[in-house]
């Protein structure tokens, strides 16, 4: 048996798979309208026996893997062996620092990890299962908008007891949001596939992301940065969206994105004059007044060069666009405090095709793969 602190990186099923078996049994019990212990027949009986067999198989495999019970809880689950191998093959450490980048329009969440040379490299890209609202920042409590900007996550912001499998509080509102009078709370990256202003992943994804965060904290990282963008900050995308009311805000975010792209280092992010500033020392950032005047500062030369070159390219692209090439401005709006209608809900939910609001794959939705228990649930 392993000692109490050890974690294994195997392909064995995790606790949430067994929990899924139990939930499925409970759902079927409710649907049948009779106790599970009564004799079942026909298709229902066959499904019942398959579920029981799957649960038994899960229990047996847990025993074979010699896992302790607490090791199998989702919040303490080991990283998959393939992910551990990817970490090592990319010159990273399992417990090295991480950084997260989010892109709404592309529905991508990227986890970057620090290499032995101190720079960050992309480890894995996850397809976001759902985000709500439209492109643009969150401004007030109840507007169902997912945040955009630069956020910080500490160990205290990990929630192992979330109603949505696992969750990481993004830290909204941050200093910039508060300086601009923005309100809201409990904006998360969480499981399930349903969003009311959060970034929702499927349970398997959020378990990996949560575990990566946990390992980075165990390795000594005090906090990691989330960079949440409306889209990938390319000259073409900036040209497409230049008619948006949020264009100036996005130009500001792009400077932080450019800094990271050019240096592969996490930018120090500060707020002064109610705007983000980047590449200040940690000491300078700590001394800034969010609503006061900004001190003189400059970005590194290579970052300034990228900002200028991208802007020139954006102008060139925009000048060649026809009116239909520019992104349409969403007319969706939601009045805080009012129940959302099914029609409005469908319009504001950007959900991955093939998944329901609980994060489960639906029939005909593709997605491939699946756990070793998939055949028992068909």
Sign of the CA dihedral with 106 first, then 172, 310, and 135 last? positive
Under DSSP, the state recorded for 358 is T
Provide mean pLDDT across the span 46-54.
55
Q: Which pTM value belongs to this model?
A: 0.77
Q: Which pLDDT score is estimated for 336? A: 54
How does the average pLDDT of the chain come out, rounded?
81
- 286 pLDDT tier (thresholds 50, 70, 90): confident
Q: What percent of the chain has pLDDT over 90?
A: 61
CB-based contacts of 90, cutoff 8 Å, min separation 6: 113, 115, 121, 123
Residue 69: strand, helix, or coil? helix
The answer to whether the beta carbons of residues 303 and 258 sit under 8 Å apart is yes
pLDDT at 52 exceeding the cut of 70: no
Q: In CATH terms, is domain 81-325 a member of 2.40.440.10? A: yes
Active-site residue, selected from the candidate residues 190, 215, 241, 350: 190
In this prediction, residue 19 has a pLDDT band, given cuts at 50, 70 and 90, of low
What would the pLDDT profile of 310-344 be if each residue is shown by its tens digit? 999 999 999 999 999 999 877 666 555 556 666 66
Contact by Cβ (8 Å): 77, 205? no
Of 198, 215, 272, 350, the catalytic one is 198
DSSP code of residue 377 = G
Q: Is 54 left (phi over 0), alpha (psi -120 to 50) or beta?
A: alpha
Comparing 319 with 3, which gets the higher pLDDT? 319
Q: How far apart are CA 24 and CA 22, in angstroms?
A: 5
Any catalytic annotation for residue 190? Answer: yes
**CA-based nearest residue to 119, from 222, 236, 264, 8:** 264
Task: Return the number of other C-beta atoms located less than 10 Å from residue 209's C-beta.
Answer: 21
Instruction: With a cut of 50, say whether residue 355 has pLDDT above it.
Output: yes
Q: What is the pLDDT of residue 281?
A: 83
Burial class (CB in 10 A: 0-12, 13-18, 19+), 236: middle
198 catalytic residue (yes or no): yes
Reported as a single tens digit per residue, the pLDDT across 102-113 is: 999 999 999 999
For residue 92, list its beta bridge partners: 115
pLDDT tops 70 at residue 67: no
> What band does 365 get if pLDDT is binned at 50, 70 and 90?
very low
Contact in structure between 200 and 128 (CB atoms under 8 Å): yes
Residues 146-160, mean pLDDT to the nearest whole number: 98
On the question of pLDDT at 140 being above 70, the answer is: yes
Which range is least confidently modeled, 17-21, 34-38, 58-62, 263-267?
Answer: 34-38
Once rounded to an integer, what is the mean pLDDT over residues 26-51? 47
pLDDT tens by residue, 163-172: 999 999 999 9
Question: Can you say how many angstroms the Cα of residue 360 is from the centroid of all Cα atoms in its chain?
Answer: 17
In this prediction, residue 273 has a pLDDT band, given cuts at 50, 70 and 90, of very high
User: What is the enclosing helix (H) or strand (E) of 278?
Assistant: strand 275-278
Cα 50 to Cα 269: distance, rounded to the nearest angstrom:
53
Contacts (Cβ under 8 Å, ≥6 apart) of 159? 166, 167, 168, 169, 188, 190
């Amino acid at each position: 048996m392993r000692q109490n602190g050890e974690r294994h990186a195997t392909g064995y099923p995790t606790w949430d798979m067994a929990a899924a078996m139990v939930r499925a049994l409970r759902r079927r019990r409710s649907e049948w309208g009779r106790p599970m212990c009564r004799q079942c027949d026909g298709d229902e009986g066959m499904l019942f026996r398959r579920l029981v067999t799957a649960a038994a198989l899960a229990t047996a495999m847990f025993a074979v893997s010699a896992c302790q019970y607490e090791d199998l809880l989702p919040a303490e689950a080991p990283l998959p062996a393939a992910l551990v191998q990817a970490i090592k093959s990319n010159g990273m450490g399992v417990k090295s620092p991480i950084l997260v980048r989010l892109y709404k329009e592309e529905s991508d969440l990227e986890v970057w990890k620090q290499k032995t040379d101190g720079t960050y490299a992309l480890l894995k890209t996850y397809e976001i299962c759902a985000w709500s609202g439209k492109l643009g920042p969150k401004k007030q409590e109840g507007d169902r908008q997912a945040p955009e900007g630069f956020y910080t996550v500490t160990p205290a912001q990990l929630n192992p007891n979330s109603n949505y499998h696992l969750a990481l509080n993004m830290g909204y509102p941050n200093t910039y949001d508060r300086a601009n009078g923005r309100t809201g709370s409990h904006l998360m990256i969480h499981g399930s596939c349903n969003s009311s202003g959060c970034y929702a992943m499927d349970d398997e994804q959020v378990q990996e992301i949560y575990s990566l965060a946990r390992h980075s904290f165990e390795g000594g990282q005090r906090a990691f940065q989330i960079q949440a963008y409306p889209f990938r900050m390319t000259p073409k995308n900036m040209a497409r969206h230049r008619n948006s009311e949020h264009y100036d805000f996005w130009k500001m975010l792009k400077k932080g994105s450019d800094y990271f792209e050019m240096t592969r280092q996490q930018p120090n992010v500060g707020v002064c004059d109610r705007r983000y500033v980047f590449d200040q020392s940690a000491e300078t950032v700590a001394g800034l007044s969010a609503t006061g005047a900004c001190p003189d500062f400059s970005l590194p030369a290579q970052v300034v060069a990228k900002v200028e070159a991208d802007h020139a390219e954006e102008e060139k692209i925009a000048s060649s666009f026809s009116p239909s090439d520019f992104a349409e401005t969403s007319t969706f709006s939601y009045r805080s405090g009012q129940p959302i209608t099914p029609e409005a809900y469908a319009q504001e939910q950007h959900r991955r095709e093939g998944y329901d609001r609980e994060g489960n794959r639906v029939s005909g939705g593709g997605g491939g793969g699946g756990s070793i228990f998939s055949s028992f649930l068909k």
